[in-house]
Amino acid sequence: MRILRFLRSSVSVGKNIDYYSKFSPSPLSMKQFLDFGSENACEKTSFTFLRHELPVRLANIMKEINLLPDNLLRTPSVRLVQGWYMQSLQEILEFKEKNAGDDKVTYDFTEAVIRIRNRHNDVIPTMAQGVVEYKETHGTDPVVSQNVQYFLDRFYMSRISIRMLLNQHTLLFGVNVKVNPAHPKQIGSIDPNCCVSDVIRDAYENARNLCDRYYMNSPELILEEFNVQPVTVVYVPSHLYHMVFELFKNAMRATMELYGDAMEYPPIHAQVALGTEDLTVKVSDRGGGVPLRKIDRLFTYTYSTAPRPSSDGARAAPLLFTVQVEELLAVHTLGCEFGGVLVHVHAHQPVTDLLVGPLRDGPVLPLILFPWSCWFIIQSLQRTQKDNIKVHILPTR
C-alpha cells in the first residue's frame, strides 16, 4: 500500500510540475513590495498570490533540475534537494482550493511557508555537495560542466527570488516576528532607509571575527564615503550584507596568507559613492590579486583555491575560505579565489551587478553596482599613484 501511495503521489507531483511550469513567474519590483507592505498589507491577498506564484516558481526550477545529467541527479545530495522541492510543492498545493477568507487557513499557510523556508536553508551547501559527489565519481567533462554552470546560475537566482517571497510573507504576517533593532523601519526584509556604511561595517566586523579566530589577527578597514551625507538606499540589508561579507572574507584571507606572520597588515579599503544614476561599493585589498590567466575561472562553481572542507562541520579553513550567500557559517564546498560565484549570482538581481576587473601586476578589483536606470560596465582599469587602481564606469543601453 505504501508503494502504491508513493507511486500515485509521484505521478500527481509530475503532473503538477508539468502544469505549473507552463506559467512564467510574475516579475515584482521593489516598489511593489514596498507599496504592498507599507500601505495595504493584507494576509489574504498575499495568500491568494503566493499559493499560485510559489508553485509556478518551484515547478519551473524543478523542471530544470530534471534536465540535469542522470549521474548528477543520482547523487544523494541532489536527490535530497529534489525531494525538498517536491515536498514544498505538495505542501503549497494543499491550499489550492482552500478559502482565503478563513483565518485558520491563512494562519496554517503562513506556518507552512515558514516550514518551507526553514527546510530550504541548506539548499546551497547540499547542492554544492552533490556537484562534488558527481566530480569524485565521474570526473570533469567540459560540456557537462558548462551545462551545470548554466543550471546553477539559474537555480541559485531562482532560490533568491523564492526566499524573497517567503521572507516577505513571514516577516509581515508571522506570529513571532521580532523587529530588527538595526533596521526598525523595515518592511518585511526591505529597509526603505538602508544605511550602506552601517551594513558594510557590520559585514566587516563579522568577517573580522572569523579571521581573528583562524589567523589570530586581521587587517583593519578604511571606509570612505564620497557624499556629503551618509548614503541610504531602499534595499534588502541582508542581501548587501552577504555580498560585502564575502568580499571582506576573501580579501582577509588573501591579505593574511600573503603577509604571513607580519607585525602589521595592509588595511582593506571600502569606498561608497552615490552617483546620479548608480550607487557603487568598491572593495580593494593588497592580497596579491589573481593571475590574469585565471580570471576566467573566477565565476565557475568548480574552481577554488580553498582547501577541501571537512564534512563533519568542525572548525576549519572553510569557515573563512568558501563562498556562501544565505547562510553565514554554512560549510560550503564550492567557491572561487576571490569569493565570487554565489556573490556574483546573488548580485545579479534586477537592481544589482557585480563586476570584476583584472590587472596584470596588481589586484583584482570587485565592484558592487546598484544601477537605477541603466546597466554599467567597467571600461578600463588603470594604475594611479593614490590607490593603485583607477576605475571608469560608463552607462550603456
Residue 249 is a catalytic residue: yes
Cell of 264: 602589521
Note if 246 is an active site residue: yes
Alpha carbon distance 226, 196 (integer Å)? 12
Pure H helices in 174-235: 196-215
Query: Which of 250, 282, 332, 344 does the annotation list as catalytic?
Result: 250
Give the span between the Cα atoms of 276 and 342, in whole angstroms.
28
In degrees, rounded to 5, the angle at the alpha carbon of residue 162 between the alpha carbons of residues 160 and 166 is: 115
d(CA 169, CA 180): 16
Q: How far apart are CA 11 and CA 17, in angstroms?
A: 10
Nearest to 334 by CA among 92, 170, 134: 134
Residue 60 to residue 23: CA distance in whole angstroms: 8
Q: What is the rounded CA–CA span in Å between residue 100 and residue 109? A: 10
Given a contact cutoff of 8 angstroms between Cβ atoms, the answer to whether 259 and 349 are in contact is no
Out of 53, 246, 326, 337, which one is annotated catalytic?
246
Closest CA to 172 of 316, 280, 37, 364: 37
Residues 6 or more apart whose Cβ sits within 8 Å of residue 276:
none
242 catalytic per annotation = yes
Question: What is the Cα–Cα distance from 120 to 54, expressed in whole angstroms?
Answer: 14
Nine-digit cell at 397?
A: 543601453
Report helix, strand and coil shares of the chain as percent, to nearest 5.
50, 15, 35
In order of 225, 251, 268, 362, 378, the CA distances from 390 in angstroms are 16, 19, 16, 12, 10
Q: Specify the pairing of strand 268-274 against strand 221-225.
A: parallel
Instruction: From the candidates 249, 269, 282, 344, give the one annotated as an active-site residue.
Output: 249
* Residue whose entry in the numeric block shows the C-alpha cell 580553498: 306
Choosing from 135, 183, 239, 242, the catalytic residue is 242
Which residues are known to be catalytic? 242, 246, 249-250
